[in-house]
Homo-oligomer: A and B are copies of this chain.
Amino acid sequence: MSTSDTKKPITVNGDRLWKSLMELAKIGKTAKDGVCRLALTDLDKQGRDLVTSWAKEAGMSITIDKIGNVFMRRKGKNDALPPIMCGSHIDTQPTGGKFDGNYGVLAGIEVVRTLNDHGIETDAPIEVAFWTNEEGSRFVPVMMGSGVFCGAFTLEHAYEAKDTEGKTVKEELARIGYIGDEEPGKHPVGAYFEAHIEQGPVLEDANKTIGVVRGVLGLRWYDCVVSGMEAHAGPTPMALRKDALQVATRIMQEVPAIANRRPPHGRGTVGFVQIHPNSRNVIPGQVKFSIDLRNIDDENLDAMDAEIKAFIEKTSKESGLPIELKQVSYFKPCQFEKGCVEAVEKATKMFDYSHMDAVSGAGHDAVYVARLAPAGMVFIPCKDGISHNEIEDAKPEHITAGCNVLLHAMVERANRAS
């Protein structure tokens, strides 16, 4: 029996899912009704214990790997097939919300509960994962569990990461009892789906229920320093100035212009600015600022990189001021596997949900998992596009819709080999 054969597709229990989200959100609940459940704290342990207890109640078995990633498994008819997995994370920002990450994990639990309710067996096993320390608030690097899993960095590197009190990831993982035996990356994955709030304003602005995520923007981060000469604002005539801010602002204006020339997925942001000496009546002698360029493919991202470099060289020549540009981070664009994207789209259409193609501007565990296995994501709108904030909010009907899409995309994929 396949769910997509029936006229009326089966649906998840939205109320149950909502209730689980609210239950998990109590652990680390803040005064402003957000959640503070930092990775590998006692609260994280409580969250992990609660979620795995729900998985066990749903008949799932638990595997934990050495970086504390947790895989909750529902057997398949052909249990030797690699599992069709979904997941996300349950750690939060210090002033985080109830939905970021938690939604993807609990939607997975709800998928299993729904399959149980309907007595549906899938060919491949179904697994729900939560990845350790996605947020990176307490320990860097961010997306630590999925990063170790896909080999972006080593287990040892992750183990050595310290919080501000000097406690290491390894100590804290051991302390909360979540160091498993499995070697990270050795866990088979047939395909991976991640349901997530959009964390951006696009779906809400377009009034769509589902975002069919095509990929995740890659990024290049730079530090830029313009060096001029500080001097008193009064006695120094315009022609004799070496005003670092006046040169820096030209570059700051070019950054979004470059993004605007590479639509629809170009992004250009200057988020950090520091000027010296930063005094009302002194011409700035030095300006440091960040540049953040993003796009969905390397071709466009490389072109943006070339454009900012050329602009800076030209600006330095014209102004006579030295300008230093240093790339400090590069994250490769990720395009999700066609089959996974199509599975999400097909499931969306099954319910006639209003939908649109989407890209993610933020990183997700799915980006790392995509390096090892076919992967895809389902986005639902969040209020005002706000995330990483205690006021983060999502509508119950969208929560339900995204979970229905996840259910049918996974089931289709799990039965594809049959």
Say yes or no: A290-B280 contact (C-beta < 8 A), given A256-B243, A385-B231: yes
Q: How far is the CA of A361 from the CA of B363 in the complex (A)?
A: 51
Please determine whether B199 and A232 come into contact, CB atoms closer than 8 angstroms: yes
Chain B residues with CB under 8 Å of A265's CB are 237
Q: How far is the CA of A160 from the CA of B268 in the complex (A)?
A: 51
- Smallest Cβ distance from A271 to chain B, in angstroms? 5
Say yes or no: A245-B252 contact (C-beta < 8 A), given A231-B201, A232-B200, A232-B362: yes
Q: How far is the CA of A305 from the CA of B275 in the complex (A)?
A: 25
Nearest to A217 among chain B residues (CB) is B234
For the complex, is A253 an interface residue (Cβ under 8 Å from B)? yes
Please determine whether A361 and B234 come into contact, CB atoms closer than 8 angstroms: yes
Chain B residues with CB under 8 Å of A245's CB are 252, 270-271, 273
Chain B residues with CB under 8 Å of A264's CB are 237
For the complex, is A284 an interface residue (Cβ under 8 Å from B)? yes
Q: How far is the CA of A268 from the CA of B246 in the complex (A)?
A: 11
Q: 1/0 contact trace for A195-231 toward B, CB 8 Å?
A: 0001111100100000000000101010000000001
Nearest to A237 among chain B residues (CB) is B202
Q: 1/0 contact trace for A249-268 toward B, CB 8 Å?
A: 11011001001100111111
Nearest to A198 among chain B residues (CB) is B235
Q: Number of contact residues on A: which range applies?
A: 35 or more
For the complex, is A294 an interface residue (Cβ under 8 Å from B)? yes
For the complex, is A137 an interface residue (Cβ under 8 Å from B)? no
For the A-B complex with A201-B240, A271-B279 known, give 10 more contacts whose Cβ atoms are closer than 8 Å: A202-B237, A232-B388, A233-B267, A233-B269, A234-B361, A234-B363, A235-B361, A246-B252, A246-B253, A270-B284
Chain A residues near B (Cβ < 8 Å) = 198-202, 205, 217, 219, 221, 231-238, 240-241, 243, 245-246, 249-250, 252-253, 256, 259-260, 263-275, 278-284, 290, 292, 294, 360-363, 385, 387-388
Q: How far is the CA of A387 from the CA of B290 in the complex (A)?
A: 32
Please determine whether A234 and B219 come into contact, CB atoms closer than 8 angstroms: yes
16 examples of A-B residue contacts, CB within 8 angstroms: A201-B231, A202-B240, A221-B281, A232-B361, A234-B362, A237-B265, A238-B259, A240-B385, A243-B269, A250-B253, A253-B253, A269-B283, A271-B278, A271-B284, A272-B279, A281-B292
Chain B residues with CB under 8 Å of A250's CB are 253
